[in-house]
Structure 1
Amino acid sequence: MRPRRDRSELQAIAAEASTRLADASTDDVLAWVAEEFGYRTAVACSMADAVLPHVVARHLPWVDTLFLETGYHFAETIGTRDAVEAGMELTIVDVTAAQSVEQQDADHGPRLYERDPGLCCQLRK
């Protein structure tokens, strides 16, 4: 297995790919992703839409779709996440904060998102 890449190496890969793949088709970009990263690939999705995970899953079926579960999503967002996973051949992985909402409330007081949204986002994301 290839060792973990550091930030500067990933930035160099991104810069080179940005130039090389600027006019590439979706198929070509995803083929490059598979070649460059293989099974160490994931897609992040907010569930505003499911186009990206759908397209990626068609080409790279092993890729997980990461969903940032902040503990503050609307019920409709969770419903969309569940419907996307059930209706498409993909795996959604909930990525959660180190603390539960209850633990965060105990440490910082309730509704931190109202008083200090920056800190709340830092803790939840």
Structure 2
Amino acid sequence: MRPDDRKPCLTAIEDKAESLNSLYRGWGAAAIIAHAAGEAFPGRIAFVSSFGAESAVLLHLMASADPSIPVLFLDTNKLFGETVRYRSRLQHHLGLEDVRVIGPRKRDLERDDPQGVLSMKDPDECCRLRKAEPLTRALKGFDCWATGRKRHQTEFRKEMETVEHDGSSFKLNPLANWTRADIADYFSAHKLPEHPLVKQGYHSIGCMPCTSKVVDENDARSGRWAGQAKTECGIHSKKK
């Protein structure tokens, strides 16, 4: 395929993302989710959740719109036991009807991480193996996936739009402009159950080997890959 042959398709994608961002400007998260699920991507959207420290907010908003929307949960085989149990508790509490547990293939783990220590040697490769590749497979059949990312969390995220396209699918970030105070207020207002590790000082919770208690109380993600330049697991990188 010549480069010029792809321009109309790319233009249509860019136009849709720009149009949705323009439409959603000034909208609340609940309205954005309802429109995305009911009109923009009906039957073709999934919510991706870590069932981590702040996940209950996005999932509550989604369940309020339509509890049957698929929720993809990445079980890397390196999660805290508390996270796995919290997933079950939150699924029941919110009435989520279609939670899909996805993870790395057994044969891929045996080939690339037979000792289970890849996270200590090459955390980027570990994230590719245990997160990025399983998610890419799971998103086939969907046109859009929704995340709970916020602009305040990292430098990488501060410029993100409400609607993006990662090269293979649209990505919805309905909580993009939410602050930590907004999240706390929503938890309180809706009496949402808290991840059990939050009270122990874990404010952003991923895989056990790469997650520690926060180093900086003002930076919820300071306990993720602490002491490393790494700030993202790779699932939000642009696809080629």
Given the alignment, which residue of 92, 103, 106 partners 2:99?
Answer: 92
Corresponding letter in the other structure for 2:90: V
87 and 28 in structure 1: CA distance in 2 versus 1, 3 angstrom threshold = closer
- How much has 1:16 moved relative to structure 2? 2.1
**Could you say what the CA RMSD is over the residues aligned between the two structures, in angstroms?**
2.1
Q: Does 1 or 2 have the higher relative contact order (CA < 8 Å, sep 6+)? A: 2
1:66 partner SS = strand
Are residues 1:104 and 2:109 paired? yes
Whole-angstrom CA distance in 1 between matches of 2:51 and 2:77: 15
1:86 partner amino acid: H
2:126 maps to 1:120: yes
Mean Cα displacement is larger for which, 86-95 or 106-115?
Answer: 106-115
Matching residue of 1:3: none
Calculate the TM-score normalised by the size of structure 1. 0.80
8 Å Cα contact 1:44/1:67 also seen in 2: yes
C-alpha contact (below 8 Å) 1:39/1:62 kept by paired residues: no
Deviation at 1:108, TM superposition (A): 3.8
Kept in 1, the 8 Å contact 2:30–2:61? The answer is: no
Give the distance between the partners of 2:112 and 2:27, measured in 1 at CA.
Answer: 48
Whether the 8 Å CA contact 1:66–1:94 is kept in 2: the answer is yes
User: In the TM superposition, what are the counterparts of 1:1-125 in structure 2 within 5 Å?
Assistant: 8=10, 9-33=12-36, 34-48=38-52, 49=54, 50-90=56-96, 91-97=98-104, 99-100=105-106, 104-110=109-115, 111-125=117-131
Structure 1 runs, 4 residues or longer, greater than 4 Å off: none
Unaligned 5+ residue runs, structure 1? Answer: 1-6
Amino-acid identity (%): 26
- AA partner of residue 93 (structure 1): R
Once residues 93 and 21 of structure 2 are traced to their aligned partners in structure 1, the CA distance between those partners, rounded to angstroms, is 32
Please give the alpha-carbon distance, in whole angstroms, between the structure 1 residues aligned to 2:63 and 2:113.
Answer: 39
Structure 1 residue 60, shift from structure 2 partner: 1.8
CA positional deviation for 1:12: 3.7
Contact in 1 for aligned 2:46/2:69 (Cα 8 Å): yes
Deviation at 1:20, TM superposition (A): 1.6
Q: CA deviation at 1:109?
A: 4.0
Aligned to 2:161: none
